[in-house]
Structure 1
């Protein structure tokens, strides 16, 4: 019954995505004539699935997203299916770029082989599945071959040895690139609050396993974990996470948004203030790194020499930064400061990997998480 409702919800989303593509969703909304569960009952106010099924209700909603190109806003439509006890059974997320996520959640008290499963599909048909049980995540390709298995420990993601990984030499590059993009689609949904019972203070994270690469080549890496963690879980892996949050909040308090002509110039000021404080510490294992791609996406494309000069001398030019923390355990935490709406893309992921490889040696894991001022 649940599988049939997931398929039905996804079919309904196809039409909703067409509306989103033409910018009509905000005007047309969802079908408010669809029957709803009466207020006062479990799931009261939510839309029914329209099929008369027993025990499950459906709750559609629309959330803002960011396009992979960073060129503007993208919408996604989410449909959630709840059990009679109010627990989340399944969700379908459809993005205007044609990608989609179908998620299933185990019922409370059940003991299946998984707690949650997220199947992510691009418009071109590339697929990856992210399967969670406890603190372990497995990533599988479109043919359900195991790509990776990672245990989330106190020190962060710990990739496990698997007997026969699906990434074979002849297909490693295209398969890895597709899986990175699919992992970023899932991470973007977490970051946008598009789906999942995130709970208060849950922090979206994405981890990559770093691999050796030849000079002149792009760093080789593969996604190893995508999810949402508590602040305490992130702090155990990235000890300076709380400190970084304080820097972001201090900068937001110090700088008045109304004093700046645009959100872009305000964002530059916030990034510049954080950059100044990080550089003043003089800690080689806690550094700020200029991001050309994030700068380009959020504030346009001034000349590269000017951007680099501004960053080198701490000027408040058009800059965006990431902060890198070398934990000393083989993991580098990357704090992706957000004051604009640009998303994390495959190109940005490679940029981050290059920055990490320039700064530190012996890195096995790269853990990326967003940081936004709470003001």
Structure 2
């Protein structure tokens, strides 16, 4: 599980500022001014990304970098993606009238071995209209989760909170699979202990039981080049187990050729 610290600080220059500190001490700064977000290295000040959210998508912004500053390494870009998803988890847990938290980045940024030079990444809140425009079927996915929670809760057939979550995810996965819709698919994986999430082969049974934390993602192809990853949550934990390489593999398996990935959490609404 990812261990991190997030510090949020007001500033005269920025509307919102967060510092994400990874387990290895790597610091990543997220500074928002209006709808423009600058992501930089917390130690060197090197700018890793700058993008503005316009008309429902993130557009890259030009920025001045020191001539002596090297191009961000692939590993540093991957670390920025991990930090962005960690911040998404924190924002998702904080109730706000400002909207729903999302994380958006080009698909290339999720792959540590890819050439993603200065990708435009963005993590923050969007209002309902913008969320619906980016991920039109999120409301449908929310309904599937809510129905699954009600179904499992009614049976009372669960041992503890983890078992409850596992059963909800299993029921929701079956509901999505029953739609037989190529543009909305379920991807079940499991976390044995604290290791990286594992995506089983499509023909393999998922090992249900309290020794595993089962996670469910609904992948929505919202346009020919965009995939929305809806991360199902039934407890208080955040996106700690959701790793960049895991997302990249899920999307690549189901929707090769994807250029843009939007990640958000979905929790029961009733």
TM-score normalised per structure 1:
0.59
Superposed displacement of residue 246, structure 1: 0.9
Contact 2:110/2:244 (<8 A) preserved: no
In 2: Cα distance, 1:266 partner to 1:290 partner: 16
Superposed displacement of residue 288, structure 1: 0.7
In 2: Cα distance, 1:158 partner to 1:115 partner: 19
Superposed displacement of residue 201, structure 1: 7.1
Deviations along 1:128-159, one digit per CA (max 9) or x if unpaired, are 22121222212122332322122223433333
Match of 1:274 among 165, 172, 180: 172
Q: 1:371 to 1:164 in 2, by over 3 A?
A: same
In 2: Cα distance, 1:354 partner to 1:234 partner: 24
Q: Which residue of 2 aligns with 1:190?
A: 91
Q: Which residue of 2 aligns with 1:259?
A: 157
Superposed displacement of residue 202, structure 1: 2.9
Q: Which residue of 2 aligns with 1:352?
A: 247
In 1: Cα distance, 2:45 partner to 2:179 partner: 47
Superposed displacement of residue 219, structure 1: 6.0
Which is bigger in relative contact order (C-alpha 8 A, separation at least 6)?
A: 2
Contact 1:155/1:329 (<8 A) preserved: no
Q: Which residue of 2 aligns with 1:37?
A: none
Contact 1:297/1:342 (<8 A) preserved: no
Is 1:211 the equivalent of 2:108?
yes
Superposed displacement of residue 297, structure 1: 5.1
Partner-residue secondary structure (3-state), 2:107: strand
Contact 1:255/1:269 (<8 A) preserved: yes
Q: Which residue of 2 aligns with 1:181?
A: 82
Deviations along 1:25-72, one digit per CA (max 9) or x if unpaired, are xxxxxxxxxxxxxxxxxxxxxxxxxxxxxxxxxxxxxxxxxx52xxxx
In 2: Cα distance, 1:234 partner to 1:148 partner: 22
Deviations along 1:321-351, one digit per CA (max 9) or x if unpaired, are 2111111152210000012444324762211
Match of 2:33 among 133, 136, 148: 133
Is 1:151 the equivalent of 2:52?
yes
Superposed displacement of residue 105, structure 1: 4.8
Measured on the aligned residues, the alpha-carbon RMSD in Å equals 3.6
Q: Which residue of 1 aligns with 2:7?
A: 101
Match of 2:238 among 333, 343, 359: 343
Q: Which residue of 1 aligns with 2:181?
A: 283
Q: 1:229 to 1:212 in 2, by over 3 A?
A: closer
State how many pairs are aligned: 261
Which stretches in structure 1 are left out of the alignment for 5+ residues?
1-66, 69-96, 107-112
In 2: Cα distance, 1:199 partner to 1:229 partner: 11
Which stretches in structure 2 are left out of the alignment for 5+ residues?
none
Superposed displacement of residue 277, structure 1: 1.8
Is 1:116 the equivalent of 2:13?
no
**Higher alpha-carbon Rg:** 1
Deviations along 1:287-323, one digit per CA (max 9) or x if unpaired, are 1112233xx359x99x987996225xxx977743211
Contact 1:103/1:116 (<8 A) preserved: yes
In 2: Cα distance, 1:236 partner to 1:348 partner: 25
Deviations along 1:63-85, one digit per CA (max 9) or x if unpaired, are xxxx52xxxxxxxxxxxxxxxxx
Q: Which residue of 2 aligns with 1:41?
A: none
In 2: Cα distance, 1:287 partner to 1:154 partner: 26
TM-score normalised per structure 2:
0.79
Partner-residue secondary structure (3-state), 2:223: coil
Superposed displacement of residue 362, structure 1: 3.0
